[in-house]
Amino acid sequence: MPALFKIIPFFLFVLLLLGITAGPVAAHDGGTSGDLWQHWAWQDLPLLLIIGGVYAFGLQSLWNRAGTGSGISRGQATAFRVGWTVLFIALVSPLDALSDELFSAHMVQHLLLMLVAAPLFALSRFTLAVAWAFPARWTSTVWKQWQWKRAWDFLTRPMIAFLLHNAAIWIWHMPRLYEASVRDEGIHFLEHFSFFLTAFLFWQVFVDLTESIRMGRSAKFGLGIFMIFGTMLVSGFLGVLIAFSPYVWYSVYVHEAARYGLTALEDQQLAGTIMWVPSGVVYLVAVVSVLGRWLFAMEAAENPQG
């Protein structure tokens, strides 16, 4: 079981390293500025381990049947490992506790979920690995008889995925709903789940549309580029509104930011800038990479002997 043993020890190594350096979980109410590295959200770890285990088992089942590297390449498996580690950093590391006290840290957490982990999961062919993790008859029952295929086909329509993801970004940044997510762990989980799920659907559609380039069908990748530019404009506009607002949007950070030498407005300006600039860079990199692949494919088609 070579593939499984390459993935599981990686997770165990991360856990061992963190177990050595981390202290017990502490409540967020008392502040974390003095002992940040004592605040770990271990309660989120079981879910991440289940996700990692399902992918590893599905990957091993697929490679046992079709051969190592078939269906899911080694590079795609590596994309999952990196994406899983990013999820760990975003949800379990002290960044999660810090996000309760600094809006800018919360924004970093959101961008890790939506712009790093989600596209890596899409690139890793996560859904294929999940399908292989369960008996074929179970997968068939869920996929066909329970109408999951119809739901998946609907959710992965380009415009549906685009609208869902951008709606999630805007809705969760409404002041009352955002502050509720900071104060209530259940709402906080729902916020992160909706961010990651809609981002995963968005990037999965983008990957599927741009995959046609490799197969010599470039007609649809323009729609993927439209999705990227549209989201860059929509989220970037929200980032600009946050960064340049003369008022504090979220009162929950008014007293917390002072522990870190920032006013709540300065923290908000930093958060808005993070949402505006780094996310724009990620979207531009995605577009440039697709255009580069398309130009390379066009050149290869025109010069087959080159």
Splitting the chain (306 residues) into consecutive groups of 10 residues, what average pLDDT does each group show?
42 43 40 67 90 94 88 93 95 90 93 95 93 80 71 90 95 92 90 95 90 62 85 93 93 84 92 92 88 72 60
Among 276, 217, 216, 218, residue whose Cα is nearest residue 245: 276
User: In terms of C-beta density within 10 A (0-12 exposed, 13-18 middle, 19 or more buried), how is residue 67 classed?
Assistant: exposed
Q: Quote the pLDDT of residue 11.
A: 46
Among 88, 87, 144, residue whose Cα is nearest residue 121: 87
Q: Quote the pLDDT of residue 29.
A: 44
With a CB cutoff of 8 Å and minimum separation 6, the contacts of 253 are 101, 102, 103, 264, 267, 268
Q: Quote the pLDDT of residue 236.
A: 92
User: Which region, left, alpha or beta, applies to residue 28 given φ > 0 means left and ψ of -120 to 50 means alpha?
Assistant: alpha
Q: Residue 259 to residues 19, 31, 178, 256: CA-CA distances in angstroms?
A: 27, 8, 21, 6
Q: Quote the pLDDT of residue 112.
A: 95
- Which residue type occupies 189? F
Q: Quote the pLDDT of residue 214.
A: 62
Strands (DSSP E) found in the chain: none
- Give the single-character DSSP code of 174: S
- What distance in Å separates the CA atoms of residue 200 and residue 222, rounded to the nearest whole number? 19
Q: Quote the pLDDT of residue 17.
A: 44
Written as six digits, the tokens of 10 are 């990686």
- Global pTM reads 0.84
Domain locations in the chain? Answer: 2-302
- What distance in Å separates the CA atoms of residue 226 and residue 158, rounded to the nearest whole number? 10
